[in-house]
């Protein structure tokens, strides 16, 4: 059962992917990368392509609405060791959709999206997939039409986030809409949306019949999610409860990867946000979170992690990534 690490903008860099792979992730994507920025030689965009021989298999996700620009971006990507290319038609961020990119494509006729997919399929050396949402809003639920158009254009798969663009990441995931896409096409369909826990992911698979699930926010501060899901799907149980020692060990491992890649200062500053995700289940986490945002050196961050590990267990409690009732109940 494919479990895929999503192309999280501002998150899915090489250190993050390596961390997830060490704990069970097998297939991952780069961050969302603008085709136009690649073609124009953006250093930031080019840096997002950095990978490692152990960072396999790896897909690349492109953002764009111009077939020619996407094809030119592929010329840059082809020498690199990717296994597939995904077209982003799901990003709900206003600065993206206002340019007619990401979920903004869902306001176009399906045949225009099909032309985009067809151009990429003709030029790509790898399988081409597309990530979509259920529609722009509740009055334009176009996922089935777009998925069929993409299939006819040669797409090898489609990933469906079960919300409209106007929902962003709020409200309920529409599993029925994802199931309708699965029933409408013959290519593999991957489900996306609120994949926070083993129970929710199994429910997604059961109710949609999809071929796999893409995990996004559920992996933040929880690199164990992939192994936990696989255990739950095969045995009905999972090792959800993590000790403070396990959390702190993972933090040290992660900041080490960040500093190896970005340097001591750059890696430490970047790791701040990851600290808050790792500490999200700790009762006393707030006081530590406030302190880390003033830290700029690796040694100082490690000292805070050491302090966290030695804190009074009665104050911290144990951590369970899936304790939040809203995520394991019907609050999806």
Q: What is the pLDDT of residues 12-44, one digit of tens each?
A: 999 999 999 999 999 999 999 999 999 999 999
Residue 58 above 50 pLDDT? yes
pLDDT at 312: 67
Q: What is the four-CA torsion angle of 176, 177, 180, 184, rounded to 10 degrees?
A: -170
Q: For tokens 């808050």, what's the residue?
A: 276
Catalytic residue from among 25, 83, 91, 210: 91
**Domain at 242-316: CATH architecture:** Orthogonal Bundle (1.10)
Domain with CATH 1.10.1200.80 in the chain: 242-316
Is 91 one of the annotated active-site residues of the chain? yes
**Cis amide bond preceding 150, omega within 30:** no
Sorted by sequence, the CB contacts under 8 Å of residue 313 that are 6+ apart come out as 244
* Architecture in CATH of 3-235: Alpha-Beta Barrel (3.20)
Structure tokens at 324: 């939040």
For residue 200, CA distances in Å to 25, 208, 233, 282, 331 come to 18, 12, 11, 22, 10
**Which residues in the chain are classed under CATH 3.20.20.70?**
3-235
Best CA proximity match to 169, nearest among 143, 144, 194: 194
Q: pLDDT tens digit string along 168-226?
A: 999 999 999 999 999 999 999 999 999 999 999 999 999 999 999 999 999 999 999 99
Say how far apart CA 156 and CA 181 lie, in whole Å. 14
């Amino acid at each position: 059962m494919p479990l895929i690490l999503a192309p999280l903008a501002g998150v899915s860099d090489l250190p993050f992917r390596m961390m997830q792979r060490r704990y069970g992730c097998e297939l991952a994507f780069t961050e969302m990368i603008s085709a136009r920025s690649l073609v124009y030689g953006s250093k930031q965009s080019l840096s997002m392509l950095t990978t490692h021989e152990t960072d396999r298999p790896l897909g690349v996700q492109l953002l764009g609405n111009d077939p020619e620009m996407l094809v030119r971006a592929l010329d840059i990507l082809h020498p690199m060791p990717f296994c597939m290319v995904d077209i982003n038609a799901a990003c709900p961020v206003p600065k993206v959709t206002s340019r007619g990119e990401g979920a903004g494509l869902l306001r176009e006729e399906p045949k225009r999206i099909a032309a985009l997919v067809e151009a990429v399929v003709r030029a790509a050396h790898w399988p081409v997939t597309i990530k979509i949402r259920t529609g722009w809003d509740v009055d334009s639920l176009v996922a089935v039409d777009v998925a069929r158009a993409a299939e006819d254009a040669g797409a090898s798969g489609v990933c469906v986030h079960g919300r409209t663009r106007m929902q962003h990441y709020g409200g309920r995931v529409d599993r029925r809409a994802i199931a309708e896409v699965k029933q409408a096409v013959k290519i593999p369909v991957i489900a996306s949306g609120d994949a926070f826990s083993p129970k929710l992911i199994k429910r997604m698979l059961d109710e949609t019949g999809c071929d796999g699930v893409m995990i996004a926010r559920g992996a933040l501060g929880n690199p164990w999610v992939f192994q936990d899901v696989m255990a739950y799907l095969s045995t009905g149980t999972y090792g959800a409860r993590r000790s403070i020692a396990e959390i702190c060990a993972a933090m040290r491992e992660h900041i080490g990867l960040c500093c190896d890649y970005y340097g001591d200062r750059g890696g430490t500053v970047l790791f701040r946000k990851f600290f808050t995700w790792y500490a999200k289940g700790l009762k006393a986490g707030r006081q530590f979170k406030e302190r880390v945002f003033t830290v700029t050196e690796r040694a100082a961050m490690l000292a805070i992690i050491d302090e966290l590990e030695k804190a009074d267990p009665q104050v911290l409690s144990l951590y369970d990534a899936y304790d939040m009732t809203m995520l394991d109940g019907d609050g999806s």
